[in-house]
C-alpha cells in the first residue's frame, strides 16, 4: 500500500474532528475497543512509560518541550499529538522525526488486515492514528512516550494507559456543547485522566479554576484512598529565579509546567539545557511568524478567549507600533463573542471567514456576533484563501496579518503560503 492509498483508507474511518455533531457517550467513545484492537494486533504497550498531557490550552507546547528535552538528554522518545496542521504524519513523532510515509502506509495496511480478519469495528480516525503510534513506539522500544489527550480526557482513547506522570495544562470553557455547559462539568471530563499512585502535575490556572480543581481533587483523592500526589506549578519552589527571554507569556507558562513534569519524572532537570530546548522549539501553528514577499503574517491556533488574550499580548510587544489585520474563523462550541471582544480593539480590519465544512460558524453567523459587540471594519469572505489573499494584497507597510480562531484556518493558510 502506498502513502496516498493509506490516506484514502484512513479517511474511511469516522473523524470527530470532521462531523457536524458529536454524541459524547461511553458507546461512541469506547476505550475497550482500542484495548481489544491493540491486543488483537499483538501490541504490548504496558511496558511503555507515558507522560499523559490533558487540558484546554498548551498541551502541544508542553508535549513538545518534554519530548525534545528527553530526546536531547539521550532518551529514545515517542510523541503522539493532535491535530495536525499540514500532514497527518506530524501527529506521530519518534526521536526528532515524524513517522515515515512508508511505515505509516505499512501500518495502515496491517490495520485493515486485522480488521478484515477479526471482530473489530467502530474504530475512529483518531483511534487508528493512536494505535499506529503505540505500535511504532512498542516496536522501537522507546524509553518514554509523550501522549497528548485528543478530546476531553475521561473517555479519550489515550486514557487506556497507566502513565508515569499525568498533566493538566490550562483549562478553559471550551467544547461546552459536548463536554458540558459549565467549567465544572468540563473539569470532570479533563480530570478523568487522574490515576491512583500516579503523580499529577497541574499547570497554571486562573484563580477560580484553580480553586475548583482543588475542591474536585479532594473528592478524587478520597475515591482513590488518598493515593494522589498533586504537584501545582505555582507551588514549585525550584522554579523561583528561573526566567525566560521571550515575549510569549503563554509559552513561558507552559515551559514552567514542562519543567515540573520533567522534575517529577527524572528527579532533576538541567535548566540551561531546557532553555536551549525552549529557545529552539518552533511548533507549527503556534505563534508562527512568516515573511510573505516582505509582508509579515502571524499564524496561531488560538481558539479560546484566554489564548486570544495571550496572542494579543505577544503581538503588542513583538510588533509594537504596528497595526493588525485579523483573519478569523471558528468552530461551533467556541466562545466567538469572547474572542472577538479581545480582537476588535486591536483590529484595523477584521476578515471573517470559514475553515471547515461541517462544524463551522458561517460568515453570516460570525457577522451577527461581530455587529452585536460593535466590531468595525468587518469584511466577510467565506473562502478562507480568498480572504487571506485579499488581506495580503491590501496590506500596508505598517500592518501585520494575524490568522487565528481555528487550527483548520491556520492549516489552510499555511498550505497557501507553502505553495510556490
- DSSP labels, 187-215: HHHHGGG--TTS-EEE----HHHHHHHHH
What are the backbone dihedrals phi and psi of residue 130, each rounded to the nearest 5 degrees, phi first?
A: -65, -40
Number of domains in the chain: 2
CA distance 420 to 417: 8
Q: Are residues 195 and 329 in the same domain?
A: no
Q: Do 249 and 330 reside in the same domain of the chain?
A: no
> Looking at residue 209, which CATH number applies to its domain?
3.40.1190.10
Question: How many whole angstroms separate alpha carbon 2 and alpha carbon 108?
Answer: 10
Average pLDDT of the chain is 92
127 burial (CB, 10 Å; 0-12 / 13-18 / 19+) is buried
Task: Look up residue 296 and give its three cell numbers.
Answer: 509579515
Residues 65 and 184 reside in one and the same domain: yes
Regarding whether 362 and 300 lie in a shared domain, the answer is yes
Q: Clarify whether residues 331 and 231 are in a common domain.
A: no
In a shared domain, residues 234 and 336: no
Cα gap 188→70, rounded to integer Å: 30
Residue 118: the pLDDT is: 76
Among the listed residues 93, 102, 99, 37, the one whose alpha carbon sits nearest the alpha carbon of residue 67: 93
Regarding beta strands 165-168 and 200-202, do their DSSP bridges make them parallel or antiparallel, or are they unpaired? parallel
Q: Are residues 147 and 246 in the same domain?
A: yes
pLDDT for 246: 80
The domain boundary residue, chosen from 263, 280, 297:
280
Residues 91 and 216 occupy one common structural domain: yes
Co-location of 320 and 235 in the same domain: no
pLDDT band at 398 (very low <50, low <70, confident <90, very high): very high
Indicate if 254 and 305 belong to the same structural domain.
no
| pLDDT band at 18; cut points 50, 70, 90 | low
127-136, 225-234, 399-408: which range is least confident on average?
A: 225-234
Model pTM? 0.89
The pLDDT, as a whole number, for residue 314 is 93
C-alpha–C-alpha distance, residues 191 and 125, integer Å: 24
Which CATH number is 355's domain given?
3.90.190.20
pLDDT of 420 higher than 70: no
pLDDT over 70 for what percent of the chain? 95
Residue where a domain terminates, one of 280, 306, 339: 280
- Provide, rounded to the nearest whole percent, the portion of the chain with pLDDT above 90: 78
Name the residue range of residue 339's domain: 288-418
Cell representation of residue 233: 506549578
Angstrom distance (rounded) from CA 238 to CA 240: 6
Per DSSP, the residues of 203-264 read: ----HHHHHHHHHHHHHHHHHTTS---EEEGGG-GGGTT-----S-HHHHHHHHHHHHHHHH
Q: In angstroms, how far is the first alpha carbon of the chain from the final one?
A: 29
Q: Which of 252, 280, 308 is the last residue of a domain?
A: 280
Please state, in angstroms and rounded to a whole number, the distance separating the CA atoms of residues 393 and 376: 20
Shared-domain flag, residues 159 and 30: yes
Q: Are residues 66 and 141 in the same domain?
A: yes
Are 62 and 166 in contact by the 8 Å Cβ rule? The answer is no
Amino acid at each position: 500500500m502506498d502513502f496516498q492509498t493509506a490516506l484514502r483508507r484512513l479517511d474511511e474511518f469516522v473523524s470527530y474532528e470532521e462531523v457536524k455533531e458529536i454524541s459524547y457517550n461511553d458507546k461512541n467513545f469506547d476505550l475497550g475497543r482500542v484495548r481489544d484492537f491493540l491486543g488483537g494486533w499483538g501490541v504490548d504497550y504496558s511496558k511503555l512509560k507515558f507522560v499523559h498531557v490533558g487540558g484546554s490550552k498548551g498541551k502541544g507546547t508542553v508535549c513538545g518541550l518534554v519530548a525534545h528535552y528527553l530526546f536531547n538528554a539521550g532518551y529514545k522518545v515517542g510523541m503522539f499529538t493532535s491535530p495536525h496542521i499540514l500532514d497527518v504524519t506530524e501527529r506521530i513523532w519518534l526521536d526528532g522525526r515524524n513517522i515515515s510515509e512508508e511505515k505509516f502506509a505499512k501500518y495502515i495496511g496491517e490495520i485493515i488486515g486485522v480488521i478484515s480478519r477479526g471482530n473489530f469495528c467502530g474504530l475512529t480516525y483518531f483511534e487508528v492514528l493512536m494505535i499506529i503510534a503505540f505500535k511504532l513506539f512498542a516496536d522501537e522500544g522507546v524509553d518514554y512516550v509523550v501522549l497528548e489527550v485528543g478530546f476531553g480526557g475521561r473517555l479519550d482513547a489515550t486514557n487506556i494507559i497507566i502513565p508515569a506522570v499525568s498533566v493538566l495544562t490550562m483549562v478553559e470553557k471550551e467544547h461546552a456543547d459536548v463536554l458540558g455547559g459549565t467549567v465544572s462539568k468540563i473539569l470532570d471530563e479533563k480530570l478523568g485522566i487522574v490515576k491512583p499512585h500516579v503523580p499529577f502535575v497541574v499547570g497554571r490556572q486562573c484563580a477560580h479554576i484553580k480553586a475548583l480543581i482543588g475542591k474536585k481533587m479532594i473528592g478524587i483523592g478520597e475515591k482513590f484512598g488518598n493515593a494522589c500526589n498533586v504537584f501545582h506549578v505555582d507551588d514549585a519552589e525550584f522554579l523561583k529565579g528561573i526566567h525566560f527571554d521571550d515575549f510569549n507569556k503563554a509559552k513561558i507558562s507552559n515551559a514552567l509546567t514542562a519543567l515540573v513534569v520533567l522534575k517529577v519524572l527524572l528527579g532533576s532537570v538541567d535548566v540551561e539545557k531546557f532553555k536551549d530546548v525552549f529557545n529552539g522549539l518552533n511548533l507549527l501553528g503556534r505563534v508562527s511568524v512568516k515573511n510573505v514577499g516582505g509582508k509579515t503574517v502571524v499564524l496561531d491556533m488560538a481558539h479560546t478567549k484566554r489564548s486570544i488574550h495571550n496572542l494579543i499580548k505577544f503581538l503588542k510587544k513583538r510588533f509594537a507600533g504596528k497595526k493588525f489585520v485579523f483573519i478569523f474563523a471558528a468552530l461551533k462550541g467556541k466562545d466567538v463573542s469572547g474572542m472577538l471582544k479581545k480582537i476588535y480593539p486591536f483590529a484595523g480590519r477584521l476578515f471573517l471567514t470559514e475553515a471547515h465544512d461541517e462544524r463551522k460558524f458561517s460568515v453570516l453567523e460570525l457577522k451577527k456576533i461581530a455587529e452585536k459587540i460593535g466590531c468595525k471594519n468587518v469584511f466577510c469572505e467565506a473562502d478562507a484563501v480568498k480572504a487571506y489573499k485579499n488581506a495580503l494584497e491590501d496590506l500596508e507597510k505598517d500592518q501585520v496579518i494575524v490568522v487565528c480562531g481555528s487550527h483548520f484556518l491556520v492549516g489552510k493558510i499555511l498550505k497557501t503560503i507553502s505553495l510556490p
